[in-house]
């Protein structure tokens, strides 16, 4: 196994993992920004997990390109600030890329979680938050990913291909659609007579579970990097195990 390096925060703090770890100081509660374009069911699951204490963090901002989407309405009901991005003719009051970075800095955001956000993330934001932006995609990447693969389009393509398995993938975000390093996946069987809606429903159940688990790991500084650039999650129960 290649040597592992711990990535503990957006400040690029890293240590070599070898043997038993020293006792860690208490981990500060993380500040999260979630990006949505629709109903925001993953956002709701993460917010609820934070509120219940299952995640050592808080959603401090909701970013959306649609001010009236379900995720934005939920955020408003919960007192979470809603930020519009990007600026378009339909959303003239939305922020520019530079303004968005400044706003997230003012909110002291540690991690950015994309949860059904359909716009490409600008390079300004990726540079401002290296290794700190994550997305969930409803297929087992690198299959059925990229521009145009979202929502039911993904599940239709999976079924049409004859693939026997699908499931959600959580990956780091780079300058392109769905090409960042894979962090976690969950396998869901594709049934012989599945409709896209049925497959989507079963994958979504696993999305909610997986995103909360990964967010909890992020907020507990349990993401590590192998020397070859592959990110892994350190087990909470056994710090010498990774998955």
Tens of pLDDT, residues 4-44 = 554 443 333 334 333 344 455 688 999 999 999 999 999 99
What average pLDDT does range 115-142 have in this prediction?
96
Structure confidence at residue 202 (pLDDT)? 98
Contact, 183 vs 111, CB < 8 A?
no
Structure confidence at residue 9 (pLDDT)? 39
What average pLDDT does range 186-211 have in this prediction?
98
Q: Is the pTM of this model over 0.75?
A: yes
Confidence of residue 91 (pLDDT cuts 50, 70, 90): confident
CATH classification of 28-233 is 3.40.50.150, yes or no?
no
Percent of the chain at pLDDT exceeding 70 = 90
Q: Report whether pLDDT(208) > 80.
A: yes
Q: Which residue has the tokens 């994958």?
A: 203
Q: Which residue in 212, 34, 184 sits closest to 114, CA to CA?
A: 34
Structure confidence at residue 93 (pLDDT)? 87
What average pLDDT does range 47-71 have in this prediction?
97
Residues with a known catalytic role: 137
Structure confidence at residue 4 (pLDDT)? 56
Q: In terms of pLDDT, which residue wins out, 132 or 90?
A: 132
Q: In this structure, what DSSP letter does residue 164 have?
A: S
Contact, 110 vs 10, CB < 8 A?
yes
* Length of the chain in terms of residues written: 243
Residue ranges of domains in the chain: 28-233
């Amino acid at each position: 196994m290649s040597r592992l390096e711990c990535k503990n925060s957006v400040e690029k703090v890293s240590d070599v993992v070898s043997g038993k770890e020293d006792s860690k100081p208490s981990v500060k509660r993380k500040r999260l920004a979630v990006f949505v374009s629709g109903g925001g069911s993953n956002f709701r699951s993460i917010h609820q997990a934070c509120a219940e204490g299952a995640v050592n963090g808080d959603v401090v901002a909701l970013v959306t390109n649609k001010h009236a989407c379900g995720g934005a309405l939920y955020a408003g009901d919960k007192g979470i600030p809603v930020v519009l991005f990007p600026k378009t003719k339909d959303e003239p009051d939305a922020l520019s890329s530079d303004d968005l970075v400044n706003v997230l800095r003012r909110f002291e955001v540690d991690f950015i979680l994309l949860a059904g956000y359909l716009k490409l993330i600008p390079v300004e934001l990726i540079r401002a938050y290296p290794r700190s932006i994550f997305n969930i995609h409803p297929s087992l990447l690198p299959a059925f990913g990229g521009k145009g693969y979202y929502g039911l389009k993904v599940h239709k393509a999976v079924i049409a291909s004859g693939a026997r398995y699908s499931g959600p993938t959580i990956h780091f975000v780079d300058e392109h659609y769905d090409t960042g390093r894979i962090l976690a996946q969950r396998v869901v069987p594709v049934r012989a007579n599945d409709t896209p809606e049925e497959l989507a429903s079963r994958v979504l159940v696993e999305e909610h579970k997986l995103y909360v688990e990964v967010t909890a790991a992020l907020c507990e500084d349990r993401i590590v990097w192998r020397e070859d650039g592959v990110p892994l999650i350190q087990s909470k129960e056994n710090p010498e195990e990774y998955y």
